[in-house]
Structure 1
Amino acid sequence: MKKKILFSALLILLSIIIYQIYVFTTVDEDNINPIYLIPDDAVFLIDTERPIDTWDEISNSNIWKHLQKNSYFNTVTESLNNLDKTFKEQQKIIQFLGERDILISIHVYKPKTYGLFYVVDLQKISKLSFLKSSIAKLAGEGYKVTKRQYHNHEITELYDKKKRETLYISFIKNQLIASYTHVLVENSIDQYLEPVIGRDVDFVEINKETPEDGLFKLFIHYKYLNKYLSCFSNKVNSDILKTIGNTWLYSGFDVGLKESTIIQAEGFTNFDLSSESYLRALQKSGKGKRSIAKIAPKNTALYLSFAFDSFDEFHENFEAIKEENQNNFKAYTEQVTDIENRLDINLKEHIFSWIGNEIALLHINDAISKKQKDVAVVLKTNSINKAKENLDFILTKIKEKTPLKFKQINYKNQTINFLDLKGFFKMLAGDLFSKMEKPYFTIIDDYVIFSNSPNTLKEIINTQLIGYTLASSKKFLDFNDQFDEKSSLFAYINTPYIYDDLLSFTDRKTQRQIHKNKDYLISFSQIGLQLISRGSHFENYLAIAYENPVEIGKQLRNNKNLKRDLLKKLVNENDTASVAMTKETFFKIPEIFPNDLSASEFIKKHDTGTIKFEVELKNGLKHGDYSEYYKNGNLRITGKYKKGVQIGTWKAYSEKDEELLFKKRF
């Protein structure tokens, strides 16, 4: 009898084994592409076909090893380190499963909250029934395992008793899907019969074009980028991001490491061919050589370049795209006509004709107005003499045709003018420059530079005079060598200098994390993105340079000292305030930097909030009464100016009791 039972058991076991072998080797495969299971609101998507090798290369890189020294980063990556440990301890399982295609996507599933979703392609391994049934046993005693049905699919819930979080797992054909956010698993189940991203021809195009020679492929879905960035900020620039979300479609990058210190990625970007945007105009206008780094200060936080074969071609394409929307085109032409009739000028003849092959936006971290977000628009000219002649003509017309007073100041032998052409920059290149309403401008070499703040222009003039520019920076030049010298769009971010602006744009929670981990953030010291027109889309290249934050700190201090020493050589003794308490030196008033040359007065305060000095202005020059105060509020100096020159009798007072110290006649 026992022999009979044993024989029957062996027969059943053999039958099961034969059935599993049959299923595993001979039954027609009923597989599904993992991309079909990604919920449609993914903002980022990572795809790797060799996760183990990828992880080995990343974890052994210099970047990773240096970042592990950062306590916050080490805490954040603790789970990845545990995964690395698990990989090494479970080599037999890894060898059995083999390298699997893994997709990881990021989704915003409720306001200011995002989650990760995973898809693992098990291929034929998924047909081994014990794999699904053994999950509960593999979880261990630290987990509570439950199961539930959702739309005819079983979801296994693994609750971590210690961390109080639940991992949700399900199987769809050959794919294992998982997330710590249950709605993402449910969204995947809901759409797998009617996939969205995987059937989107725009994504399919980018996925096909993006190479796969690196560690993994990264995709950006711009439709949801604004939603994702809102997780970290209450001040997201919605206008620009809405334009990107409505215009840009997908970017694909093949991500790799270069010499363990540079992250590099190449691929393609596409956009909505029916959209009304400068991007379409750029795509149709070829590429141009970048050169504005010659006058961009070394402390530039952002250099955003738009380049083309010629500006004439770009603007023709821009207008043609505008014309596709009759209502918008009508408003555009009316604005052009209004400016031309009001000033009796022709924009194409007097402005567009001298613009060369590059327009750039510079965001500068300067010392003059630290609390201002200083932005400049730089136009490369094809003829600087023609530019000067036509700008002089326009300024004359403004003086003749409008009641506005003509504003002009001289700063270190450079003329700064006020140009009242409201709406001009929006006509030039769309919404990106729309806030440049009534700018000041100056001319340096072959470039015309505009800014809403005259202090920004002063900073550019100063750094140009002392040779403190991006083009003089070996660090920038070495990084820039990785990119083609000609591009359609080029963005350069100098992370240590843009750090303060990141703080100002983020919410309090993110600010605390950024401030606490400044070294981790600025260690990725240079970021560059280049787009080059290629047919109906752009070829893109991204590079991120890593440096030890200690070295970055030294560089920043050295650069600050270098700039200070160079500027000292420019400063005239007459422009330098002396702290010596003598009649000859007490009345040497330092240079002032008003933000608005049309203002009637300028007030600057001490760090304590009390007034440091106040002076009347005329056309940006000191003109009228001047009063200066100590930190305790007592009067320090009084006098008068006329067209920037001290006149009359000036008086100086003591700090304690405002006793008269000196008088001087000018």
Structure 2
Amino acid sequence: MDALKIFFRRLLYVLAFFAVIALGFIVFWMYKGIPIVPLDPFSYVPASAMYILETDEPVDSWDEISSSKLWKHLQTQPYFGELTKDAISLDTMIHQNRGVFDFLGKRQVLVSSHIHKQGDYDFLFIVDLKREVPSFLEDHIGKFMSSAEDSSNYEYKKNRIYLIKNTVDNSQWAISIRKHLLLCSQTPALVEAALDEQNNPTNFKNNRRFTKVVSKTSTKNLGRLFINYELADEFFGLYMDESNEYLNDISEALFFSGLNLDLEQVGDDDDENASTIVRMIGTTVINDSLPSHVRALLLSGSSDITAARVVPQRSAFYFSVNFDDFLTYYDKFTDVLQQDEKAYQEYQNQINTVERILDISVRDNFFSWIGSEMAIIQSEPTQSVDKNDEYALVLKAKSISEATAQLEFIGEKIRKRTPIKVVVSEHKGHKISMLAVKGFFKLVMGKYFDKIDKPYFTFIEDYVIFSNSPKTLKNLIDDYEMGLTLAKSPSFQKFFKEFEADNSNFFAYINIPAARQTLKRSLSPETWKVIQQNEDYVISQPHWGFQLRRDETHFYDTRLVTVYENPKKVRNDYKLAQENRKKRLEQLNSKNILEKVFGTEEKIDLFEQLQTIPESELIELDKNNTERRLIVRNQEDTRYEYEVKGSIKDGVYREFKAGKLIIEGYYKNDKRDGKWRFYDKDGKIKERKRYKDGEESKFSLF
């Protein structure tokens, strides 16, 4: 949230600087100067940009933002108090000088976000003034801006940079004018980097993937947002307590997104429950050179999103992946994986191990019945359920009878190889069984499924649902029987109309009121503290959704949507939903429906008993999968932090010098693996490397 506050506040300052220059232009407007070749503002954006926001109508865009319900709500939040004062001042200045701004017409403005030192970031603003600033006018503006106390200027590679002191908050701005472009930031190094970038042959202007994304978006909306996924993991790392391997994979699997920004108010201005829809719609280009799990998923066709029929309304997260059918995805994944011969052989060895131990064919007995959709859901956290027990994997079956038969076949094979007497139960007419195999999903389907470690499973409609906990399955069955699924949620269905249910590749949904406690586990303590202090702001956007759909040009139609609602209404709706579920559950259980176990009636405690199977009695497919633990070692002024499995390094590695992070990366089987970053003494990234089996490599398994 700091990013939002800092972004808007600095945007206000830039518009104010623009006003000063605008007045100068009116005086000298008739000056024609020497004809120039226009400079592309994107060519000045440093490669370290995490995202770029662009607008051609900064004043009109500000008018639309400042009149929205979302902005009016922000003004009531203490966290944005200083921002509100600046906004009122800017609004007054614009309206008092409307003729000046209207006279100047459209002006392209770029705002890019950059991590410029460890744990911190800043913004670079680039404004296209449309006409080259004559040297005498630049001198005039420079003298005017540098006249404040403690302001100065210096030369950088034959370009003048002005350091302007803002006496209101003691901040300092670095400003430079390059022909018709105004460059400014509160970090002088970013202005210097912008001046250097123009000569970089691989800058954004010359990046064919980026320019393609730009060409597929429109300039007619509120603005455009461009996302650079290479730095996505570093951006989210500013707010998270530890590195996230899934974000690392996404940052390697995708290149850029270009999204058109739009706001739509639903309801009258005087309606306190009026909402604002924030739409970001555009296109995404994927990295088609790396053999990644994400790439295989996106290249495996598409299908309709239907799992909402069994996903509970109280789900915190819901991710739906769609393809032609699972075997298509599996074949595509193995094709992609063969680009890394060693990784492919390792995976085949894993499959062979499973098939040898269980005496089954993974393809024929498991993959063959999986249809065109799989979903991962994380339920709202409860005190009685462990973290990984909140997850469930939903697989759509081609034929539920075939899925039942094949899972029974696998179960029978398992029973012949373990002393466990596997209990089969029934809850509300739905059978719950268990695969007494530890690590099955991770080995046969990859690391994205490692949270489903000791799977119980049940059947609902055409779906097979797996979870570590029979309690989670019981709750899913209850929600389905009570009609409390997303497909029957008016608020979700209204929100889901913003997306396309047919021919989808990937869809993600976050229910913020239900996800708050889940987010606490992932975010840094500092970020979580800010969220707690500004809860009204957080829950005022209860629905977030993201979708990718492949188009006919092999790019991906992209939608990122959220909705602002009155936080009082959100909180009240959430409370009513909880009370409604409790009331319906009491009615459902009052019918005295008891569980059936082997023909006898048992009470609901069976679900507790099912979880008491000793770990030692499970078939261990991945015998080296011991629990990770963190090792911390100090040597003079150097501190080492790394994870180990057994006695070897496996997991996150960090090295600190004099308290500052200097190296960050991952180990796999005691060898460097994946993306590594090396920092200088100021916390800036000085080098990035990618490793495979301890050696630098351009490939990555996932």
1:54 aligns with 2:61: yes
Give yes or no for the alignment of 1:217 onto 2:232: no
Match of 2:167 among 161, 164, 172: 161
Deviations 1:425-447 (A, max 9, x none): 34665432233232221112211
Aligned to 2:248: 242
Quote the offset at 1:370 in angstroms. Answer: 5.8
Q: Distance in 1 between matches of 2:606 and 2:579?
A: 22
In the alignment, structure 1 residue 557 sits paired with structure 2 residue 575: yes
Equivalent residue, structure 2, for 1:275: 290
2:693 maps to what in 1? none
Question: In the alignment, which of 19, 38, 57 is matched to residue 31 of structure 1?
Answer: 38
Structure 1 window deviating more from structure 2 (131-140 vs 552-561): it is: 131-140
Are positions 1:111 and 2:118 aligned together? yes
Structure 1 segment 541-620 matched on structure 2, within 5 A: 541-572=559-590, 591=605, 594=608, 597-599=611-613
CA distance in 1, matches of 2:44, 2:476: 52
Distance 1:152 1:166 in 2: 22
| Pairs within 5 Å for 1:147-186 | 147-186=153-192
Preserved CA contact (<8 Å) 1:525 1:546: yes
Distance, in Å, in 2 between the alignment partners of 1:223 and 1:518 is: 30
Equivalent positions of 1:263-302 (< 5 A) are 263-302=278-317
Structure-2 change in CA distance of 1:595 and 1:286 (3 Å): farther
CA spacing shift, 1:240–1:338, aligned 2, 3 Å: same
The equivalent position to 1:359 in structure 2, one of 374, 377, 380, is 374
Gaps (5+ residues) in structure 1? Answer: 1-16, 577-587, 602-617, 620-666
8 Å Cα contact 1:295-1:469 kept in structure 2 = yes
Match of 1:199 among 183, 203, 206: 206
| 1:106-154 deviation line (CA, Å, top 9, x unaligned) | 111111111111001112152363244224425775x532011222221
Describe the superposition over 1:411-456 as per-residue Cα deviations: whole angstroms up to 9, x where unpaired: 4443322224555434665432233232221112211111122222
Q: How far apart are residue 63 of structure 1 and its match?
A: 2.1
Q: Report Cα offsets for 1:548-578 as digits up to 9, x if no partner.
A: 11111111111111100111023259899xx
**Aligned partners of 2:143, 2:54: CA distance in 1, in Å?**
28
State the partner residue of 1:452: 468
CA distance in 2, matches of 1:80, 1:174: 27
The aligned counterpart of 2:17 is: none
Q: Distance in 2 between matches of 1:31 and 1:132?
A: 21
1:467 and 2:483 equivalent? yes
Residue 551 of structure 2 corresponds to residue 537 of structure 1: no
Instruction: Render the CA deviation track for 1:221-260: whole Å, top value 9, x for unaligned.
Output: 11111111121122342x1111111111111100101235
1:393-432 matches, within 5 Å, as 393-402=409-418, 405-426=421-442, 429-432=445-448
Determine the structure 2 residue equivalent to 1:340.
Answer: 355
| Distance in 2, Cα, partners of 1:127 & 1:595 | 81
Name the CA distance, whole Å, in 1 between partners of 2:111 and 2:470.
Answer: 48
Q: How does 1:81-100 map to 2 (within 5 A)?
A: 81-100=88-107
- Residues 527 and 543, structure 1, Cα contact 8 Å, conserved in 2: yes
Task: Identify the residue that residue 478 of structure 1 maps to in structure 2.
Answer: 494
What amino acid is aligned across from residue 250 of structure 1 in structure 2? F
The aligned residue for residue 372 of structure 1 is 387
Query: Which sits farther off after the overlay, 546-555 or 183-192?
Result: 183-192
**Contact 1:366–1:456 at 8 Å: present in 2 too?**
no
Range with bigger deviation, 379-388 or 499-508: 499-508
How far does residue 286 in structure 1 lie from its aligned partner after superposition? 2.2
Which is further off, 518-527 or 61-70?
A: 61-70
Partner of residue 522, structure 1: 539
Q: Which SS does the other structure have where 1:309 is aligned?
A: coil
CA contact (8 A) 1:575 1:590 kept: no
User: Quick one: structure 1 residues 417 and 170, their matched pair in 2 at CA, closer, same or farther if it must change by over 3 Å?
Assistant: same
Counterpart among 226, 230, 240 of residue 233 in structure 1: 240
Contact 1:102–1:118 (Cα < 8 Å) also in 2: yes
Looking at CA atoms only, which structure, 1 or 2, has the larger radius of gyration?
Answer: 1
Aligned to 1:120: 127
- Cα offset, 1:365, TM superposition: 0.3
For each residue in 1:66-96, what CA deviation from the matched residue of structure 2 results, as whole angstroms up to 9, or x when unmatched? 3322232344454344333332233344245
Amino acid at match of 1:169: I
Matched position secondary structure for 1:500: helix
1:523 touches 1:546 (CA, 8 Å); kept in 2?
Answer: yes
* TM-score normalised by the chain length of structure 2: 0.76
Unpaired stretches in structure 2, ≥5 consecutive residues:
1-24, 267-275, 595-601, 619-702
SS at match of 1:363: strand
Question: SS at the partner of 1:106?
Answer: strand
Q: Distance in 2 between matches of 1:410 and 1:594?
A: 14
| 2:88 equivalent to 1:73 | no
The answer (yes or no) to whether the contact 2:282–2:559 under 8 Å persists in 1 is yes
Taking structure 1 as reference, are residues 140 and 99 closer, same or farther at Cα in structure 2, changes over 3 Å only? Answer: farther
Q: Encode CA deviations 1:348-374: one digit per residue, 9 max, x unaligned.
A: 211111111110010110546366351
State the AA in 2 paired with 1:489: F
Equivalent AA in structure 1 for residue 376 of structure 2 = L
Post-superposition shift, 1:592?
A: 8.0
Q: CA deviation at 1:466?
A: 1.5
Provide the residue aligned with 1:101 in structure 2: 108
2:394·2:465 contact (CA, 8 Å) conserved in 1?
Answer: yes
Does structure 1 retain, via aligned residues, the 8 Å contact 2:369–2:402? yes
1:63 matched to 2:80: no
* Deviation string, structure 1 residues 460-501 (Cα, Å, up to 9, x no partner): 122112121111111111111221112110111111111122
CA distance in 2, matches of 1:236, 1:594: 34
- Aligned equivalents of 2:330, 2:447: Cα separation in 1: 14
Contact 2:56–2:219 under 8 Å retained in 1:
no
Q: Which moved more, 1:110-119 or 1:495-504?
A: 495-504
| Residues 146, 163 of structure 2: 8 Å contact kept | no
The higher relative CO (CA closer than 8 Å, separation ≥ 6) is in 2
Inter-partner Cα distance in structure 1 for 2:520 and 2:357? 42
The percent identity for this pair of structures is 31
CA contact (8 A) 1:112 1:228 kept: no
For the 8 Å contact 2:250–2:294, the answer to whether it is kept is: no
Count of aligned pairs: 573
| Closer, same or farther: CA 462–136 of 1 in aligned 2, 3 Å | farther
Write out per-residue CA displacement over residues 535-556 of structure 1, whole angstroms, 9 at most, x where no aligned residue.
4321111221111111111111
Q: Which shifted more, 54-63 or 276-285? A: 276-285
Please give the root-mean-square deviation of Cα atoms over the aligned residues, in Å.
2.8
